[in-house]
Amino acid sequence: MNVESRVVCLSVPAEPEYIDLVRLTLYGISSKLGFSYEEIEDMKVAVAEACNNAVVHAYEPGSPGTMEVRFEQLEDGLRITVKDEGPSFDYEAKAESAESLHDKTLNEINVGGLGIYLMQALMDDVEVRTGIGTEVTLTKRVIRSEEMV
């Protein structure tokens, strides 16, 4: 099977109501690739967070914008890329200045800024590229049981 040709791309308005379309597409693709229910749910949360960041931060309120979402089958899993064309930010500086969440209560944690931590906790690999827009790449590998081999 030629895995390189296994790519699905969506271009959707950067609006909250389109995040469900991205999640449904992810569900369809990941279930066919053999991911478990728990893995799929983790990916849906991570992808929704990446999309939500594009919806909330990429474009000025009232300004139309789009999100490009790419689902790419890998030999051992799935790579999902969420890209917007909005004004970018300095991810490295933001990540460097982020405080550790260890030893903090829920009351001490700010509501914003947890998205990257959440994505990192749920996915095997998270990459953020900034420049012209922001591109978040999320990778999840399929965990195959011995029965499936």
Spans of the chain below 70 pLDDT:
1-5, 88-113, 144-149
Residues paired with residue 135 on neighbouring β-strands, in sequence order:
83, 129
Beta pairing, strands 66-74 & 7-13: antiparallel
Looking at domain 3-141, its CATH architecture is: 2-Layer Sandwich (3.30)
pTM exceeds cut of 0.75: yes
d(CA 13, CA 28): 20
> Residue 131's pLDDT is what?
85
Q: What tokens appear for 54 in the block?
A: 């594009």
Length of the chain: 149
d(CA 13, CA 125): 26
Neighbours of 84 (CB within 10 A): 24
> Residue 93's pLDDT is what?
47
> Residue 37's pLDDT is what?
95
> Residue 60's pLDDT is what?
84
